[in-house]
Structure 1
Amino acid sequence: MTAPARFITFEGIDGSGKSTQARRLADALRAAGHAVVLTREPGGSPGAEEIRSLVLEGDPDRWSAQTEILLFTAARRDHLERTIEPALAAGKIVICDRFVDSTRMYQGLSRGDLRALVDTLHDLMIGREPDLTLLIDLDPDTGLTRARGRQGHEERFEDFGPDLQQRMRAGFRALAREFAPRFRIIDGARTEEEVARDVFSVVEQALA
């Protein structure tokens, strides 16, 4: 089975299940015969993975919001050049766990009124929006409980607490309205299997 190259992103608050759903979608599309690249942000290329450790680990106040925007944009540029664009040029479906919409939320709105700066740098250095964005929507208290249960080392943004997650959820919903043609909201407060079925249905229609 073949389909035009597509750039699909997953967004949502911490613990929403987007990473799990991104993996499940990649597996389902591969089983259907599609060539798929599954990647993530920050990260997805060697240079971007190095920057990932800088921004996701350590004290919550380690970086200012402005510095974070520069770091995330640098990581995204390397990711775009080395992973995303080559895969799309080869006709593959690229599935990415987070992209610029997360920066618009975490650094652009939730940590200061810097959305215009995020968009300006994105236009200058990246210049690409996803073809389809799946927003896994979930209550922030549930999401934080899930996120903290992972017991990982990349918990810097989770340590900002529930207030940030509340603002993030509202912000993502606002982005879904702003970029309505490419956003689809998926109810994440259900079983993993139910969410996965909805995700695959939406993507299947987009690829038709």
Structure 2
Amino acid sequence: MARSLRATGGTARLRRVALIGIDGSGKTTQAHRLADALTAAGRPATYHRNAGGRRWLGRLANRLGRPDAQRLVGRNGVLAVESVLRWLAIAAALLSCLVTGRTAVMDRYSACQYASIRAHGGQRWERLARVGYRVFPPPQVTFLLTVDPAEAYRRIERRGDDHETMGWLTAADTAYRTLPEYPSFVLVDASGAPEDVERRIRAHLAAWLPAEAGPPALDASAADVPVAAAIRGRSPVQARP
């Protein structure tokens, strides 16, 4: 478990931060922005996209005349491929940041795989995935970007490079909210403009950013409510399964 900022005089080093949420919640945009903001503030950071390959599998399925990845390799096949590819991506990201000393800004982490498994209805696979992913240290902060599935659907349709059903997005949203790690996530309303979402995220990381680099502090009514709150001088830590 990471040491609290209070115990280290407010100078604890941010080594791992993860952004998670349903497709269309803005994870990738905000992870890129956060990596850039940390680097500009003198905390060198690297963006890592820990994808599970589901989009790639879906495109392959379409080329082979199947409507989706599940029709191509079956539910168990999708979950197996996702679990392995995401595990490898996270391992590579952690190793890279261990070697370079840079902060790892994770676009998706282990919780994304657990949520995907739940949304697919493969609870047996979740137990296996948790055994394999247990080797990874929890992020010091895990931001769950929350957005209504209907808005997420509209965003995905606008970008036009993939497709998700409302049923899947709703199931994934429910899956995140029922994970045992959920109370440790910092909830960020991602329904607004990217700039507003970025300000909320950076406000929660103010303890790790120089005063001049961070945005104005949000008042209690404007800030999102994290269960493990960085703004109270503690380092929010994702619970181990």
**2:178 is the alignment partner of 1:178:** no
User: Cα deviation per residue 1:146-167 (whole Å; 9 max; x = unaligned)?
Assistant: 1111111x43xx1xx1122112
**2:169 is the alignment partner of 1:165:** yes
Task: Decide whether aligned partners of structure 1 residues 56 and 98 sit closer, same or farther in structure 2, where only a CA change above 3 A counts.
Answer: farther
Q: Is the 8 A contact 1:88 1:94 kept in 2?
A: no
Pairs aligned (count): 191
User: Which runs of 5 or more structure 2 residues have no equivalent in the other structure?
Assistant: 1-10, 62-66, 210-232, 234-241
User: Which runs of 5 or more structure 1 residues have no equivalent in the other structure?
Assistant: 44-50
**Normalised TM-score (structure 1):** 0.79
Indicate the residue corresponding to 2:154 in structure 1. Answer: 145
* 1:1-208 alignment runs, 5 A limit: 4-42=13-51, 54-57=56-59, 58=61, 59-60=67-68, 61-106=71-116, 108-112=117-121, 114-124=122-132, 127-128=135-136, 129-152=138-161, 154-155=162-163, 158=164, 161-175=165-179, 178-181=181-184, 183-205=185-207
Task: Decide whether aligned partners of structure 1 residues 62 and 17 sit closer, same or farther in structure 2, where only a CA change above 3 A counts.
Answer: same
Residue 53 of structure 1: CA displacement? Answer: 6.1
Q: Secondary structure at the match of 2:135?
A: coil
User: Cα deviation per residue 1:79-136 (whole Å; 9 max; x = unaligned)?
Assistant: 2343322313543211111122222122x21111x23423423423552133321111
Q: Quick one: higher RCO (CA 8 Å, sep 6+), 1 or 2?
A: 1
Aligned counterparts of 2:77 and 2:120: Cα–Cα separation in 1: 12
CA-based RMSD of the aligned residues comes to 2.5
Residue 70 of structure 1: CA displacement? Answer: 1.7
User: Cα deviation per residue 1:29-78 (whole Å; 9 max; x = unaligned)?
Assistant: 111011111011226xxxxxxx5664342332223222122212221332
Aligned counterparts of 1:125 and 1:190: Cα–Cα separation in 2: 32
Residue 5 of structure 1: CA displacement? Answer: 4.8
- % identical aligned pairs: 25
Residue 195 of structure 1: CA displacement? Answer: 0.8
Aligned counterparts of 1:53 and 1:164: Cα–Cα separation in 2: 13
Residue 11 of structure 1: CA displacement? Answer: 1.2
Aligned counterparts of 1:80 and 1:178: Cα–Cα separation in 2: 18
Aligned counterparts of 1:105 and 1:53: Cα–Cα separation in 2: 16
Q: Name the amino acid aligned to 2:74.
A: S
